[in-house]
């Protein structure tokens, strides 16, 4: 099953119905999607899932998943396909023939032999180690999420085992070029492109985005320079990946970089989304929350509307009386309806139960604020 597409504020874009078929009695099958289901519920508290037994409120289905302790994985043919592929490799001949067989499966990024590709990748990594990176990177961002995640996991592991510099080479090449055709001219990465990084329709910026994410997940410290340089890229998707990479690699010492980017360089929705994700990536760290909250509260009153909305969103996700009070103060001082609605959204979608009381308190304010509370109150129906 495809994972839900994420829209505004990372919340899933979903159809009115989620179909879970006939396996609702095996709720643990859906455990990998529990977070996405919870996000769906927050965005649409009254939504139901369509099951063989009829309509089930999503809230009820989430409870079934949480209570089902069997921890069964989703049905998959991956194990059977891998066994078949291993037997074929054993009869293929020597090492050279086996490598040739693997690369034959990987030929053509868009061929739908997904599970065979995954088996071939794993074998190449086992056999070649870091040298297999050139074969696997082309599948970053593949439309089939299983294949994309498998390629990503393998390359991140290789980057931790000595392949980081090679990954940086790839990333730098794609950051400075506009198309795959341009990258072909760079002899250092020609093997990557010619091994099948789709076609000319693949933009260099798309490849750079996934490479930045991999470097961040690998925690490859030398890539910090590349990530910072990418903050100046003309594509907002690249900048979103870059600001997250900067903070994930550099940690709290790079908080000033993140806030400076938010205040002076962020221009589009993806820029602000990247900053929010970076700042919220360590929300389980009390020291980080305290530091970021203090900075956000200080910056909130005097910021431009777009920056103010991002800061409010982060404060709402952190929660806490002081942070919620800062958002409420910004709402009271705001006279722009669109801006006010986004600030109210930060309260309404906060996981802090105290946000409900704060919103109720705002009902004593002017009509514009009361109307905004009424529109957003439905989101507080979800037991967060």
CB 269 within 8 Å of CB 313: no
What tokens were used for 9? 């504020």
Helices (H), 231-353: 236-250, 255-264, 269-280, 286-299, 305-318, 321-332, 337-348
d(CA 370, CA 35): 31
C-alpha distances in Å from residue 175, one per residue of 69, 125, 200, 278, 298 = 45, 26, 16, 21, 35
What tokens were used for 335? 């006279």
The pLDDT value recorded for residue 321 is: 96
The pLDDT value recorded for residue 331 is: 94
d(CA 39, CA 7): 11
d(CA 209, CA 379): 33
**Parts of the chain with a pLDDT under 70:** 1-25, 71-75, 177-203, 382-384
Residue 151: which H helix or E strand, with range? helix 145-158
The dihedrals phi and psi of 192, each to the nearest 5 degrees, come to -65, -50
What tokens were used for 21? 């078929």
d(CA 266, CA 236): 9
The pLDDT value recorded for residue 73 is: 66
d(CA 344, CA 186): 50
**pTM over the 0.75 mark:** yes
The pLDDT value recorded for residue 20 is: 57
Q: Is the dihedral of CA 95, 96, 101, 103 positive or negative?
A: positive
Instruction: Give the position of tokens 């903050």.
Output: 231
């Amino acid at each position: 099953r495809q994972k839900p597409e994420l829209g505004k504020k990372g919340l899933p874009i979903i159809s009115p119905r989620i179909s879970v078929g006939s396996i609702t009695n095996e709720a643990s099958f859906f455990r990998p999607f529990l977070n996405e289901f919870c996000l769906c519920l927050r965005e649409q508290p009254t939504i139901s899932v369509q099951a063989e037994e009829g309509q089930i409120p999503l809230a009820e289905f989430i409870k079934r998943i949480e209570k089902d302790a069997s921890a069964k994985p989703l049905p998959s043919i991956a194990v059977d396909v891998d066994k078949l592929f291993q037997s074929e490799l054993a009869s293929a001949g020597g090492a050279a023939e086996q490598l040739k067989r693997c690369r034959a499966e990987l030929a053509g990024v868009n061929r739908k032999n997904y599970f065979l590709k995954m088996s071939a990748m794993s074998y190449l990594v086992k056999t070649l180690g870091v040298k297999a990176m050139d074969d696997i990177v082309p599948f970053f961002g593949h439309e089939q999420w299983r294949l994309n995640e498998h390629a990503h996991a393998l390359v991140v592991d290789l980057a931790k085992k000595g392949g980081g510099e090679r990954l940086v080479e790839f990333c730098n090449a794609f950051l400075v070029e506009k198309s795959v055709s341009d990258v072909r001219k760079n002899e250092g990465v020609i093997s990557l492109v010619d091994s099948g990084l789709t076609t000319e329709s693949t933009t260099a910026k798309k490849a750079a985005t996934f490479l930045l994410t991999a470097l961040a997940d690998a925690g490859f410290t030398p890539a910090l320079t590349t990530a910072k340089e990418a903050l100046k890229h003309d594509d907002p998707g690249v900048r979103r990946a870059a600001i997250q990479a900067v903070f994930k690699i550099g940690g709290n010492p790079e908080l000033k970089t993140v806030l400076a980017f938010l205040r002076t360089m962020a221009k589009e929705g993806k820029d602000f989304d990247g900053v929010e994700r970076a700042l919220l990536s360590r929300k389980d760290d009390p020291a980080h929350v305290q530091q970021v909250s203090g900075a956000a509260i200080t910056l909130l009153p005097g910021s431009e509307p777009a920056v103010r909305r991002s800061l409010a969103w982060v404060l709402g996700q952190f929660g806490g009386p002081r942070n919620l009070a800062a958002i409420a103060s910004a709402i009271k001082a705001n006279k722009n309806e669109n801006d006010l609605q986004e600030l109210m959204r930060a309260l309404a979608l906060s996981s802090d139960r105290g946000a409900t009381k704060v919103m109720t308190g705002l009902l004593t304010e002017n009509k514009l604020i009361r109307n905004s509370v009424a529109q957003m109150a439905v989101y507080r129906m979800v037991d967060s």
